[in-house]
Amino acid sequence: MAVIDITQDRLEAAIRDSGTLILDFWAPWCAPCRAFAPIFEEASEQFPDVVFGKVNTEEEQQLAALFQIRSIPTLMIFREQIIVFNQPGMLSASQLNEVLEKVAALDMDDVRSKMETGPDSGEDQG
C-alpha cells in the first residue's frame, strides 16, 4: 500500500477509517527522517492491512503541536482509534516490523479495559 500524506483535514478520517494507522512525523531538513523514509515505504508494502501516513511537521505545525511532537522522526500508531505506540527516533526495518507485529497482536479489549481503569487504578490518589 502506498504511503499517504496526512494533513489536518485528513487526520480524523484516517484515524476513524483505519483499523491500524501508523504516522511518521518528519521534516524535509531532517537527515534521520530522510534515512527512515525508505524503511517506512518498504514496511508499507509488507503490511498491506496497515495504513501508513506521513505528517510533514513543517507544513502541519498544528498537528505536530496537537500530538506534542518534540523531536523527529516520531512514530505514532493508532489501532481502533487508540494510540498504542508513540516513540521518537528512527527505527531499523527489523525494529519497525517487530513493533507492527506486536501492535497487530494486541488484545484491544484488554487495552480498552486498562484505559478505563487507568494506569494508577488501585493507588491512593490522595
Identified catalytic residue from 15, 33, 43, 51: 33
| Residue 104 scores a pLDDT above 70 | yes
Burial class (CB in 10 A: 0-12, 13-18, 19+), 37: middle
Instruction: Show the cell assigned to 118.
Output: 487507568
Q: Could you read off the pLDDT of 13-54 as tens digits, one per residue?
A: 999 999 999 999 999 999 999 999 999 999 999 999 999 999
| Residue 62 scores a pLDDT above 80 | yes
* pTM (2 d.p.): 0.89
Give the architecture-level CATH label for domain 4-117: 3-Layer(aba) Sandwich (3.40)
Identified catalytic residue from 30, 84, 103, 106: 30
For position 2, what pLDDT does the model report? Answer: 81
Is 67 a catalytic site residue? no
Helix, strand or coil, per DSSP, at residue 72: coil
Q: How confident is the model at residue 116 (pLDDT cuts 50, 70, 90)?
A: confident
